Amino acid sequence: MSSTIREADLGAGASKVTSLPARAAANIPVQLGHGIARNPGMKLDLGFMESMRSVNRSALERRVASLTKRRSIKADNQAAWLLRSIACMDLTTLNSNDTDERVRRLCAKAINPLRRDLIEGLGIEGETIRPAAVCVYHPFVATAVDAVRGTGIHVAAVSTAFPHGLTPLSTRLQEIEASVKDGADEIDVVIPRGLVFGAKWRELYNEIVSMRAACGDAHLKVILGTGDLATLRNVMLASMVAMMAGADFIKTSTGKESVNATLPVGLAMVRAIRAYFEETGYLIGFKPAGGISTAKVSLDWLVLMKEELGRPWLEPTLFRFGASSLLTDIERQLEHHLTGHYSANHRHAMA
């Protein structure tokens, strides 16, 4: 890649800088559902991208190390944060052996994510704590929509030739439209990574704009496949293009790469989100996915969001985990909190 962004998109006026939202107290409820003003996107501004291209990996790694070491969440506070992890989860099954029955079982787990004795022990009988969404392949969207109807749980579909995104754009757009028609209200799309390596920013921008239009009212999550992008600079620039094109969320990984969500990559992406907010005033969501399988790791991600972006990004409107096995470990940690003993995985209903 050359030392400067290769295209020039002049004529975009300077935007007013906007402060991040005030950091509300942790016990103040925030509206659930799709209650955030949608990002309309903006003109592709390669000058803005040029200002974001310098990424200091060493500094990001030092920041991540300080976040995970100096924050210790224990006892009741840890239980509360783990319940927050459940509320911000996209409970996922993306396997080659998925069936309608497997998806119904996933949805049943999403509706009742914790055993009754754990709910009673934690004293949360009057609360509704469920994953924000279930995430499935397109053929199972209608099954999932029917299974979670009336619960407030969203249905996300992975589309656009997941996980590689290497089919003609027209085919990918048809898949999005089919998933929306079947009832999906969130669409997770993948970008062709080759457009990033070739610095074909305008082509990438135009593709994502088309995907956003195909989504209609469904929210668009753009998967960058960060493990395939090689450098944090590529991650930063791809994040900016996705947000400029109208993404509601940017997402790290498909979960199928050899390297999936890592905290340094996540930090680069949330700083891109902050820069975009300061430029436009629009709040963009973030979804790390792939390899997030333990309660401890979920706490690290929550701390990162709280420290870097503040309280609004601890709500499912702006933060999601892509996870399949994480819920089981959270249940085990909550049982340990109540009893002092760890339980075996088989004691918790499988998703």
**Catalytic residue IDs:** 188, 251, 287
Could you give the dihedral angle defined by the CA atoms of residues 196, 201, 203 and 206, in that order, rounded to the nearest 10 degrees? 120
Q: What is the DSSP letter of 114?
A: S
Q: What is the DSSP letter of 312?
A: G
Round to whole Å and give the CA distance between 68 and 296.
10
Q: What is each CA distance from 309 to 166, 261, 264, 278, 314, in whole angstroms? A: 33, 18, 15, 12, 9
Is 289 within 8 Å of 253 (Cβ atoms)? yes
Amino acid at the residue 183 = G
H helices of the chain, in order, are 46-52, 57-70, 75-87, 100-111, 116-122, 141-147, 169-181, 193-197, 201-215, 232-244, 263-280, 295-308, 326-339
52: number of Cβ within 10 Å: 19
Residue listed under structure tokens 């999601």: 320
